[in-house]
Amino acid sequence: MRITKAAFVGSSTRVEQKPARKLPEFAFIGRSNVGKSSLINMLAGNSKLAKTSQTPGKTQLVNHFLINDNWYLVDLPGYGYARLPDRERARLRHIIWDYINRSGELVMLFVLLDSRHDMQEVDLCFISELGEKGIPFAIIFTKGDKQGPTVLAAQVEKNKARLLEDWEELPPVFVSSSVTGAGKEEIVNYIGTVLQTL
């Protein structure tokens, strides 16, 4: 599949505020500063589609982007940003889980993890919660250009092994770089394959 058209169509804090047109939704989430907006822009082939920032916690709303006029790419706020006040963290958590729990059009949630680091407890807890709720998800390791291929592969395998301590089998796993474009074809083709099954 190729993404030939991408347009921002609305922001929301509650499911009732989503775009009225019902289409399959593929949502992206990760810890703050994991490179989510850059990845979304890379996948869509539009460097200005999702707003990028060096400041963690920039995404505060659920943002819908209409792709190829037949599905939505959904940009969710980041989780686990410890420097936010408790009240603000609770507000963002409510926005995130209101969408995940209540969006009937959500097909797949892509959980983004920084390929340079070990998975943190906040990542493991979030993924565990997805499992408890039966939410289909895949994992994308971001920033794959920041290390050499041997170190990158070793770190990814370490994190996959950690996941297998809690899961009988791994979800789909991708490695990406918004700088080199690595992973774009695999991720977009995977979404295309899922869309064909709906």
pTM of the model: 0.94
Rounded CA-CA distance 82/158 in Å is 25
Query: Phi then psi for 119, rounded to 5 degrees?
Result: -60, 140
pLDDT score, position 53: 55
Rounded CA-CA distance 60/91 in Å is 9
Please state whether 87 falls in left (phi above 0), alpha (psi between -120 and 50) or beta: alpha
Query: Phi then psi for 18, rounded to 5 degrees?
Result: -60, 165
Q: What is the mean pLDDT of each run of 10 residues along the chain (198 residues)?
A: 94 95 97 89 90 60 95 92 77 94 97 96 94 96 95 96 93 96 97 97
pLDDT score, position 60: 83
Q: For residue 43, give the nearest of 191, 148, 146, 158 by alpha carbon.
A: 191
pLDDT score, position 197: 96
pLDDT score, position 180: 95
Is residue 73 helix, strand or coil? strand
Radius of gyration of the chain (CA): 16
